[in-house]
Amino acid sequence: MNTTEAPPLTRKDFQSDQEVRWCPGCGDYAILSAVQQVFPELGIPREKFVIVSGIGCSSRFPYYMNTYGFHSIHGRAPAVATGIKMTRPDLDVWVVTGDGDALSIGGNHLIHTLRRNVNLKILLFNNRVYGLTKGQYSPTSELGKRTKSTPHGSVDFPFNPLNIAIGAGATFVARSVDIFMPHLKAVLKRAAAHKGSAFVEVMQNCNIYNDKAFAALTDKTGRQQNGLYLEHGKPLVFGDNKDKGLRFTGTDFEVIELGNGKSEDDCLVWDEEHANPSLAFQMASISTGDGLGDFPVPLGVLRAVDAPTYDAGVIDQIDELTTTRPQTLDQLIHGTDTWTVDAGGNVHRGAN
């Protein structure tokens, strides 16, 4: 190193000059703050970050980050981001999306991006409602939910975003909560370090249209009682005093009370690297995420496996063929079969 080190980046370096216009009390503020705290710690120059979003409250995110940013169209952020990453592998590309943007209008792009394992980080802010269009139910809204578009209660079955991601073959799947700052930052760092599509669901409170949707998980008692903090290689224990655990019966998860002859040894040891995604799928399925069911809400990394990325595969082919099959533009234009007409009007096969 012979150049003078640039001063380390700080949170402030990632704050844009634009006034943040989310509703006061919106969970998005906390997520923005977490991202602005994590980015300077990643060791990546600011100009190498690109944040791509679709449409919705969450998708205003790029305007508030002093990086390159692209506020695209509804549901299409993964497609725009794929085009960026395929052609600019040097960039660190993040997608910010919401439950309507990613799972409804943009469902197709999300699953195919995850299937391809494009090296993108995808943050899905799940508030289980359409906020920007002022309060309709979303594809993650619970059955029976009364909204402007479902005045008699929703009869529309919701998605579990984690299961969509795992089912689509995502190589990194995690979940955190807007206001669980240390946990959220840790999950974001894990996502940033993953090579391939990293899918992070962030439970996010919409205090205007769906307030307290995750209160059973996020209130003071809920955090410990209803949060299951997954850690690779650690047994699945939870509860106020780590007094509960999850056992795997072979077909299902089961909550056990620890003590009385049952210990951590009876709990499943979490393996986020398990090759078969079905265990992660089953883990994601134990809770709808609101903390109201019989099971705790899994948080942290559900799945993290190594796999080749699509963008690298594409670039490798181009690099290899550029080396092994050099051809000039002139050769390309000529093709294989040419004929030449000379000044006298005579025709012969081939070029001059």
Partner 1 sequence: MTLPIAGQTDAGKAAEATVSDVVIRFAGDSGDGMQLTGTQFTNTSALIGNDLSTLPDFPAEIRAPAGTLAGVSGFQVRIADHDIHTPGDAPDVLIAMNPAALKANMRDLKDNGVIIVNTDEFTPRNLKRAGYEANPLEDDSLNAFRLYQVALTTMTRRALEESELDVRSKDRCKNFLALGMVYWLFSRPLESTIDWLRVKFKRRPEIAEANVKVMKAGWNFCDITDAFQVRYDVEPAKLEPGTYRSIHGNSALAIGLVAASRRSGLPLFLGAYPITPASDVLHELATYKHFGVTTYQAEDEIAAVCAAIGASFGGNLGVSCSSGPGIALKAEGINLAVMVELPLVICDIQRGGPSTGLPTKTEQADLLQVMFGRNNESPVPVIAASSPANCFDTALEAVRMATAYMTPVILLSDGYIANGAEPWRIPQVEELPDLRVNFHQNAEGFMPYMRDEQTLARPWAIPGTPGLEHRIGGLEKEDVTGNVNYEPENHDHMVRLRAEKVARIVNDIPELEVEGPQSGKLLVLGWGSTLGAITGAVNQARADGLTVSRAHLWHINPFPRNLGDVLERFERVLVPEMNLGQLALLLRARYLKDIETYSKVEGKPFTRDEILHRIERMTGESNQR
Instruction: Tell whether the torsion through CA atoms of 256, 269, 160 and 145 is positive or negative.
Output: positive
CB of 112 to partner 1, least distance (A): 4
Among 47, 182, 220, 250, binds partner 1 (CB under 8 A): 47
Among 11, 20, 23, 71, binds partner 1 (CB under 8 A): 71
CB of 58 to partner 1, least distance (A): 14
CB of 168 to partner 1, least distance (A): 11
User: Residues 80 to 139: which contact partner 1 by CB under 8 A?
Assistant: 80-88, 90-91, 108-109, 112
Question: Whose Cβ is closer to partner 1: residue 2's or residue 327's?
Answer: 327
CB of 233 to partner 1, least distance (A): 36
| List of long-range contacts for 65-72, beta carbons under 8 Å, 24+ apart | 65/14, 65/15, 65/16, 65/32, 65/35, 65/36, 65/39, 66/13, 66/14, 66/15, 66/16, 66/17, 67/14, 67/39
Question: Whose Cβ is closer to partner 1: residue 12's or residue 220's?
Answer: 12
Rg (C-alpha) for the chain, rounded Å, is 25
CB of 262 to partner 1, least distance (A): 47
Question: Whose Cβ is closer to partner 1: residue 251's or residue 327's?
Answer: 327
DSSP 8-state class, residue 308:
-
Residues 6+ apart with CB under 8 A from 191: 121, 123, 172, 174, 198, 200
Structure tokens at 5: 């080190």
SS3 67: coil
**345 is a site residue for partner 1 (CB under 8 A):** yes
Q: Give all strands (DSSP E) within 57-190, no chain letters.
A: 68-71, 92-98, 121-126, 172-177
| List of long-range contacts for 8-13, beta carbons under 8 Å, 24+ apart | 8/40, 9/39, 9/40, 9/46, 10/40, 11/36, 11/37, 11/40, 13/40, 13/46, 13/66
Q: Give all strands (DSSP E) within 258-324, no chain letters.
A: 297-304
Is the separation of the CB atoms in 181 and 29 below 8 Å? no
DSSP 8-state class, residue 102:
I
User: Residues 144 to 183: which contact partner 1 by CB under 8 A?
Assistant: none
Question: Whose Cβ is closer to partner 1: residue 119's or residue 141's?
Answer: 119
The whole-angstrom distance between residue 202's C-alpha and the CA centroid of its chain comes to 9
Is the separation of the CB atoms in 109 and 78 below 8 Å? yes
Mask of contacts with partner 1, 2-31, x by CB under 8 A?
A: --------------x-x-------------
Among 29, 70, 159, 248, binds partner 1 (CB under 8 A): 70
Is the separation of the CB atoms in 161 and 203 below 8 Å? no
SS3 15: strand
Question: Whose Cβ is closer to partner 1: residue 89's or residue 239's?
Answer: 89
Question: Whose Cβ is closer to partner 1: residue 263's or residue 338's?
Answer: 338
CB of 349 to partner 1, least distance (A): 5
**62 is a site residue for partner 1 (CB under 8 A):** yes
CB of 207 to partner 1, least distance (A): 23
User: Residues 262 to 321: which contact partner 1 by CB under 8 A?
Assistant: 314, 317-318, 321
Question: Whose Cβ is closer to partner 1: residue 55's or residue 302's?
Answer: 55
**43 is a site residue for partner 1 (CB under 8 A):** no
Question: Whose Cβ is closer to partner 1: residue 306's or residue 319's?
Answer: 319
Please report, as ranges, the residues that interact with partner 1 according to CB under 8 A: 16, 18, 45-50, 52-53, 55, 62-63, 65-73, 76, 78-88, 90-91, 108-109, 112, 314, 317-318, 321-322, 324-330, 332-335, 337-343, 345, 347, 349, 351-352
